[in-house]
Structure 1
Amino acid sequence: DIFDAIIVGAGLAGSVAALVLAREGAQVLVIERGNSAGAKNVTGGRLYAHSLEHIIPGFAESAPVERLITHEKLAFMTEKSAMTMDYCNGDETSPSQRSYSVLRSKFDAWLMEQAEEAGAQLITGIRVDNLVQRDGKVVGVEADGDVIEAKTVILADGVNSILAEKLGMAKRVKPTDVAVGVKELIELPKSVIEDRFQLQGNQGAACLFAGSPTDGLMGGGFLYTNENTLSLGLVCGLHHLHDAKKSVPQMLEDFKQHPAVAPLIAGGKLVEYSAHVVPEAGINMLPELVGDGVLIAGDAAGMCMNLGF
């Protein structure tokens, strides 16, 4: 069979593309190299609702979001001190203006389920090795030794898309284009999180830290409250790491010991550690978005920027 579309990657962009196409009656196949949608995806933890509200109005009522962000903190830090600005927003903002803390393994799996319910097909644990071309047009993919044909292929395989590079549509990612993000998931009782961050019900907090977390280099730290965990981490420009006096793991460890951070995570249990390359260059790293029989989306297209807001 020839599919109307094959989508490489079951992240946010890939799953939404599958959902929209399937709703229109297209025969869609999503190929994900992880064992499930979201299994290999990492984010600091904040999802802004405006775009997804257009696709699934009121999605947060059924999606596994962690908390509605109502509290913002911005801290400027030296090695031993910090000045923090707080902002509190009510719960009554319109749905499209809201943002939520999320855990991608849960959220991406739910989003892909919406696409499957609309008629899309998903196969997992398979890596797409190459794209199949005839007369200069992309007509399918080669995965696990098999050729699967489609009228259109959408590359949503994340930042540093090797497939887009092989096509000549994207340049090799430069260190100045990306940053390294590291994150720990720290478990705490729900009541403790709400007490420490002055939250009620499903309210959540987003905290950003500038200065000492990355030893003065480009980047910063973050902390997002989930239902019963904290997402704590930092991001540092890849091109600055050769000038760094500390390794990234050491930066994170020192960040956790900072007087402004340590009380927030005290007594917590580390349940997950992850790291990821994140795009930073915006329009300067955009590839060719459309080719004959192929389209690039999401992080592979440089469509997301990690600027801490």
Structure 2
Amino acid sequence: MSADKYEVIIIGAGLAGLSAAYKLAKAGMEVVVVERGDYPGSKNLSGGVLYSRILDQLIPDFWEEAPIERYITNYLTTLMTPTDYVNIEYKDQELAKPPYNAVTVLRAKFDRWLAEKAEEAGAMIVTGVKVDKVLKEGGRITGITTGDEEMLADVVIAADGINSFIAQEAGLRGEIEPAHLAVGAKALIELPQQAIEERFRLEGNEGTAYAMLGDATHGVAGGGFFYTNRESLSIGVVMRLDDLVKEKVKPFEVLDDLLRHPLVAPLVKDGTMTEYGAHLTAEGGVHMVPSQLHTDGMLIVGDAAGFTINSGLVIRGMDLAIGSGMAAAEAVLEAKERGDYSAAALSSYQRKLDEGFIMKDLKLYAKAVDFMETDRLYKNYAPLANHLFGRIYNHDLSPKEHLWKSVLGSVQESGISWLDLARDGIKGVRAL
């Protein structure tokens, strides 16, 4: 059995692992990234919305070379019934100017680009290799095993995603509660660029992102998303695992119904579906972040550490992954200066997370998880909003009523008590 020795081994070539690899390699450290997929990004479905200002900190002016699809300038929140919908739209053309606030990316392209940047900086990326377990000596992580080979390192960074068995094996994380997991079903639909820009009222590289509540998930806790790429549309649903099981709903049936919805069907008309799949995602926010993110010889980053935020209006994960990878790299560089990779030496990682936007934002939205468990968000408020606007805009020759009367009548017919309405309002304000 042979054993190669490196300064840093990173498990997983996602955004967190590659960001750490790039920063460490740029600083001159010997880094190897071990990726189970055939290439970086091969295990990702389509892509997503990346809140990209953190990427500009890692690679200044990244937009000049990165494979960006569109710059998000339009945000829509949709309250949806089976036949109707209410849109709340925000558009800001300043968001289409550098430094960009958010971009859409296709991960198969984007991750490969970031991997190339890491390789240019000096990192080694090995693909098609499955890590079997971590090596320990005297309670310290000293490397990994892959098949019949051992790879030794001063420090290991676990960036192997939501199901990180490496973090569990190292004793940093236990089994994830079902309430903290969701199933995402997603489709990628190709359309000509001109058709996308006409249908979504876009100019140039502008982009649109929808967050959809209500019938988008058939009343199951979660939501739908819909956003524009350059020559394709990404659409999908994310539904909390425990509620999905309780309601006995099938994710792909929900997604198929969403594609047929009167809001969506005209926008995807004549498109060609090129991807269709499902995967697990994190939903627990700060509640699923382990109390300790490092140990002797190891740190965990990105999804492996549970770094995701779902406020109902915004879903974030990629920016937290990049930020955590950068923070981990900075902690490793400081540990190298001291020649000490113990848990105490690597503890600056936690401090950097606490002082930066990652833990501050996770803690800010700590109550969002409980708020998002409110059934009325998915079963009652979309019908209420659509009923109210129907009363306002429907002129059937009967005398019109005062707006307040329309509100009272719609709330009464919704079955929501005023007490529940007040409670949900207060809870929402506190959570968001």
Instruction: Give the alignment's TM-score, normalised by structure 1.
Output: 0.97
Alignment-derived partner of residue 276 in structure 2: 273
Mapped pair 1:108 → 2:111: yes
Alignment-derived partner of residue 22 in structure 1: 25
Higher mean C-alpha displacement, 269-278 vs 83-92: 83-92
Deviation at residue 44 of structure 1 after TM alignment? 5.2
Alignment-derived partner of residue 126 in structure 1: 129
Alignment-derived partner of residue 31 in structure 1: 34
Paired with 1:245 and 1:128, the residues of 2 have a C-alpha distance of 35
Q: What secondary structure is seen at the aligned counterpart in 2 of 1:139?
A: strand
Higher mean C-alpha displacement, 10-19 vs 245-254: 245-254
Alignment-derived partner of residue 176 in structure 1: 179
Alignment-derived partner of residue 266 in structure 2: 263
Paired with 2:142 and 2:119, the residues of 1 have a C-alpha distance of 23
Mapped pair 1:297 → 2:297: no
Aligned residues: 309
Going by fraction, where is helix more abundant, 1 or 2?
Answer: 2
Q: What secondary structure is seen at the aligned counterpart in 1 of 2:71?
A: strand
Going by fraction, where is strand more abundant, 1 or 2?
Answer: 1
Choose the corresponding residue for 1:223, options 219, 223, 226.
226
Deviation at residue 246 of structure 1 after TM alignment? 2.8
Q: How do 1:61-100 and structure 2 match up within 5 A? A: 61-91=64-94, 95-96=98-99, 98-100=101-103
Change (3 A) 1:230 1:94: closer
Alignment-derived partner of residue 201 in structure 1: 204
Larger RCO (alpha carbons 8 Å, 6+ apart): 1
Alignment-derived partner of residue 383 in structure 2: none
Higher mean C-alpha displacement, 238-247 vs 127-136: 238-247
Paired with 1:20 and 1:286, the residues of 2 have a C-alpha distance of 24
Alignment-derived partner of residue 150 in structure 2: 147
Deviation at residue 250 of structure 1 after TM alignment? 0.6
Per-residue deviation, residues 65-117 of structure 1 (Å, max 9, x unmatched): 10010111111001111001111111456634510011100001101111100
Paired with 2:164 and 2:99, the residues of 1 have a C-alpha distance of 30
Paired with 1:79 and 1:245, the residues of 2 have a C-alpha distance of 18
Q: What secondary structure is seen at the aligned counterpart in 2 of 1:70?
A: strand
Paired with 1:219 and 1:43, the residues of 2 have a C-alpha distance of 19
Alignment-derived partner of residue 287 in structure 2: 284
Structure 2, unmatched stretches of 5+, are: 315-432
Verify the 8 A CA contact 2:285 2:308 in the aligned structure 1. Answer: yes
Paired with 1:221 and 1:242, the residues of 2 have a C-alpha distance of 18
Paired with 2:65 and 2:100, the residues of 1 have a C-alpha distance of 18
Alignment-derived partner of residue 169 in structure 2: 166
Larger Rg: 2
Verify the 8 A CA contact 2:186 2:276 in the aligned structure 1. Answer: yes
Deviation at residue 245 of structure 1 after TM alignment? 4.6
Aligned-residue sequence identity (percent) comes to 44
Instruction: Give the alignment's TM-score, normalised by structure 2.
Output: 0.70
Verify the 8 A CA contact 2:46 2:108 in the aligned structure 1. Answer: no
Alignment-derived partner of residue 240 in structure 1: 243
AA aligned to 1:208 is A
Higher mean C-alpha displacement, 43-52 vs 59-68: 43-52
Paired with 1:197 and 1:254, the residues of 2 have a C-alpha distance of 21
Paired with 1:147 and 1:253, the residues of 2 have a C-alpha distance of 46
Verify the 8 A CA contact 2:12 2:34 in the aligned structure 1. Answer: yes
Change (3 A) 1:69 1:295: same
Q: What secondary structure is seen at the aligned counterpart in 2 of 1:102?
A: strand
Alignment-derived partner of residue 9 in structure 2: 6
Deviation at residue 242 of structure 1 after TM alignment? 1.6
Per-residue deviation, residues 147-197 of structure 1 (Å, max 9, x unmatched): 000000000000021111112210101111111111100011110000000
Per-residue deviation, residues 25-54 of structure 1 (Å, max 9, x unmatched): 100000000000010123651000121111
